[in-house]
Structure 1
Amino acid sequence: MSDISLTSGMRANLLSLQSSVKLLDRTQERLSTGKKVNSALDNPVNYFTALDHTTRANDLLAYKDGISEAIQTIKAADTAITAITTLINSAKATAEAAKSTVSSASTSQTLTFSAGITAGATVVIGGDTYTAVTTTDVAAGEFYVGGTAAAAATSLAAAIAMSGTTTFNVSDNGQGVLTISRKDGTAMEAGDITDTSSSVTESDIAANSDELVAKRAQYTTLLSQINDLKDDAYYKGKNLLGGTTAAFDLTVKFGNSHTLTVEGFDGSATGLGITTASSTWIDETTIDVSITQLESALSKLRIESSKLSSNLAVVNARDEWISSVANVLQTGADKLTLADTNEEGANMLMLQTRQSLSTSALSLSAQAAQSVLQLFQ
């Protein structure tokens, strides 16, 4: 260009045309990208501020997947609690029904002796302990087991009589069976007689009806199902009903240093305090022990469900907040960088018109030189 001389009019028109083309290119870029700030060269302040907003929004959104999984884990645990509550209510109904099947307690119990009683075995009657020995010279509170089973029973009967008990009567049939009864004629109670030898068998204080046996089996099955359901209450390997150690806790991350720990608990029958087996059901009193434990378990489940609901509310609130604040950040970034398409469209139309006018003006400026050329033709 420096080797070619242009008139001042042509140079002015050329510069105007070049400016229009440059502005036209910029406008086309803005319309194609939708942004008025595409790089730091366009506007350093807006570009880096918008980049910071976008980066933070993306960092926050990266936690949403983990939060979503945490929500599902808590929901899985709460669903399991609901199911276990149903099973416990069924177990409670079974126990209540079992109360109507128990017989009246017997006024006597039998102790049946068989061969094989070893020294050191004990029989406790009304709190008094009688110890088996193999020497014939027995002391108070001892009975001889060195002979036959019938002789052992007779020796124990003698030891009970020697104790001077004012609570129990003892009857020996001479064939290894003792009948124990209360002197006041009242019914025998659970725990009146206990023993540590497998060669001594004590009778139940109440007969087990077929209905009671069936209720016991139903109750045992329900407790087993509670344990199975607890084991199945995991989501993606995390079981909030698995136990009380930290391994069963759920940590939800909301940011680099902000977390929420959802504590697990033991959702098994034992963990809920249901420790009495149905085999102990012999009267209404023993069944009431199980019912009390079931009611306590229901109360504990309500407390744990309330905790989970509270934690779920926190996690949901955090999830919604992240979505909202990420939207705010992205909107802020867009306002700093996005182009007004209406304005840019108008600019495009005006620049195209200006380009056309500049081209025409440049053509007119060149006509003077063309007139000089015609003189040589």
Structure 2
Amino acid sequence: MAFSINTNTAALAALQTLRETNADLTATSNAVSSGKKVNSAADDPAVYVIAQKMNSQISGLSAVSSGLSTGAQVVSTANSALTSIGSVLTQLKTLVSEGQSASIDPTTINSQISNLLSNIDSYAKNATFSGVNLISGNTGGSVTSNQLKLITSADASQSITVGRANSATTDAMNATSAGLGLANLSTTSSGVTFTGLGAIGTGGSVTLANSVTTGTSATPSQSWTFTLATTGAGTVDTVTQDAVKNVTGISHAVTVVPASGQSAQDALVAAMKSAGFSVSLTQNATTAADVDLHVAGNDVVTTGASATPAANGTAVTGSAWTGSDAALANVDAAINKLGAMSVTLGAQQNQITSLQSYQSTLSDALTTGVGALTDADLSEESAKLTSLQTKQQLAIQSLSMANSQSQSILSLFR
């Protein structure tokens, strides 16, 4: 073996081994300290990019989860208010029933009814969470949105809407006394009766309206036209507004198509009940072939009320339906209307709960996936760290020995 003071092959080999060991030791130390085997793109470019995308999705799901939590509280607040309003409606029904007794002063009863209606308005208008109220209806008559849009996907491509919008095509969910058709409720509240109405066939219709005052500070007036047809479905609403976009009136054109095996009269009654009316049919006292149609709720009035048996039939003008059953029917209609709102919000609350569970499961799965790609096996890293530390010490010792070889050359010249 040649000895040279210019080139120390042994030292170069030992130095190279030490550098490699130090590099491995640094990587292992980083893995041990961070708990990750992939900390940067330099560790594993492909895995790092995949992990970054998955982490971004997890972050998006976290935002979605936060939004759903807010939505759940908004709907829960509205549902709590509906429950309270339902209790008030039960009290109202009792009061209206008591008001039919001749021994009780109707003025006193009507005063209590007025107080309960104020409570309903208070519950509905204070059912606000995070600035959103799903059941207050048209505040001041303005075209406002009584709904909340919730993003349900990390990339914001999917969403759901809770509540019901007040837009150019429909009126808002409204649990105020006016929205429930109780604006003028008293022990003598009446409805509309169509007397001597023959069998209503295709082309037949019923037209109704309420007496709510229009304007910027009141609930808009509404009208309903139910028309029997063989095809078509749904409701076409027309919203009228003033110059400052306040709703002044809403016209509902309802197409009624009987289901298979369902009579035209039954289909008509079902459609009217869905619109928030209390409806009943009785046999006409004078004509066996005719029926009397009784309608209450939605603050309906006789003005403009008419019914046409068929396309070429004669219109029947609505007259006042009075008596204890009429007043109670107004409250029953409000109870049914409130029930429909509760069903809508209850279903939406269940939907949010289901989405929250899914988002949580998906986020957990992604987090587990990222961990599988990037997390270090600390038991393995611990063993590797011990091995590399030993190799480092040996490399240093080998380099020390290699460096001492040049000193031994001096003994050749003594």
Query: Scaled by the length of structure 1, what TM-score is found?
Result: 0.65
1:281–1:248: structure 2 CA closer, same or farther, 3 Å change rule? closer
Q: Tell me the secondary structure at the aligned position of residue 179 of structure 2.
A: coil
8 A contact 2:35–2:376 mirrored in 1: yes
Q: Which residue of 2 aligns with 1:249?
A: 147
2:181 equivalent to 1:273: yes
Q: Which residue of 2 aligns with 1:54?
A: 55
8 A contact 1:81–1:301 mirrored in 2: yes
1:4–1:263: structure 2 CA closer, same or farther, 3 Å change rule? farther
5 Å matches for 1:198-213? 211-213=105-107
Q: CA deviation at 1:372?
A: 2.6
**Structure 1 or 2: more helix by fraction:** 1
CA RMSD of aligned residues (A): 2.5
Q: Which residue of 2 aligns with 1:288?
A: 325
CA distance in 1, matches of 2:332, 2:5: 104
CA distance in 2, matches of 1:300, 1:216: 22
CA distance in 1, matches of 2:189, 2:81: 28
1:311–1:298: structure 2 CA closer, same or farther, 3 Å change rule? same
Q: CA deviation at 1:279?
A: 6.1
Q: Which residue of 2 aligns with 1:308?
A: 345
CA distance in 1, matches of 2:87, 2:187: 22
Q: Tell me the secondary structure at the aligned position of residue 22 of structure 2.
A: helix
Question: Which one has a bigger Cα radius of gyration?
Answer: 1
**Structure 1 or 2: more strand by fraction:** 2
Higher relative contact order (CA 8 A, sep 6+): 1
Once structures 1 and 2 are overlaid, which stretch shifts more, 15-24 or 47-56? 15-24
5 Å matches for 1:147-186? none
8 A contact 1:254–1:318 mirrored in 2: yes
8 A contact 1:276–1:290 mirrored in 2: no
CA distance in 2, matches of 1:338, 1:318: 29
CA distance in 1, matches of 2:388, 2:189: 96
Q: Tell me the secondary structure at the aligned position of residue 239 of structure 1.
A: coil
1:80–1:363: structure 2 CA closer, same or farther, 3 Å change rule? same
Q: CA deviation at 1:324?
A: 2.1
Q: CA deviation at 1:376?
A: 4.9
Query: Scaled by the length of structure 2, what TM-score is found?
Result: 0.59
Gapped runs of 5+ residues in structure 1?
104-208
1:29–1:6: structure 2 CA closer, same or farther, 3 Å change rule? farther
Q: Which residue of 2 aligns with 1:261?
A: 161
Q: How many residues align?
A: 267
Q: Which residue of 2 aligns with 1:354?
A: 391
AA in 1 matched with 2:372: K
8 A contact 2:109–2:187 mirrored in 1: no
CA distance in 2, matches of 1:327, 1:296: 47
Gapped runs of 5+ residues in structure 2?
165-172, 191-320
5 Å matches for 1:121-136? none
Q: Tell me the secondary structure at the aligned position of residue 235 of structure 1.
A: coil
8 A contact 1:230–1:267 mirrored in 2: yes
Q: Which residue of 2 aligns with 1:222?
A: 116
1:269–1:9: structure 2 CA closer, same or farther, 3 Å change rule? same
